Amino acid sequence: MRPNKKALFIILVILAFLATVHFLGRDSSNPKQQPTAVVAGSGVTTKPSFDKQQYPLSQASSLWVVVNKGRQLPKTYVPANLTVPNVSLRLSSGSPEMEVRSDTAQAMQEMFAGAAEQGIKLMLASGYRSYTEQVSLYDGYVASDGKAAADASSAHPGFSEHQTGLAADLEPANRVCEVAQCFDATPEGKWLVANAYKYGFIIRYPKDKEDLTGYEYEPWHVRYVGKDLAAQINQTGQTLERFFGLPNYVDYSATPFQLRSD
Tell which phi-psi region holds residue 146, choosing left (phi > 0), alpha (psi between -120 and 50) or beta. Answer: left
CA-closest candidate to residue 232, choices 35, 104, 52: 52
Cα–chain center distance at 86: 19
Positive or negative: CA dihedral 49, 50, 52, 53: positive
CA-closest candidate to residue 137, choices 113, 159, 108, 109: 159
CA-closest candidate to residue 164, choices 254, 56, 251: 56
253 within 8 A of 78, measured Cβ to Cβ: no
Whole-angstrom CA distances from 219 to 32, 170, 204, 224, 256 are 38, 9, 8, 14, 26
Which DSSP state fits 197?
G
- Indicate if 218 belongs to the active site: yes
197 within 8 A of 231, measured Cβ to Cβ: yes
The three-class DSSP label of residue 23 is: helix
What is the torsion angle, in degrees rounded to the nearest 10, for the CA atoms of residue 83, residue 85, residue 86 and residue 87?
-150
Catalytic residue among 97, 161, 188, 218: 218
Active site residues: 218
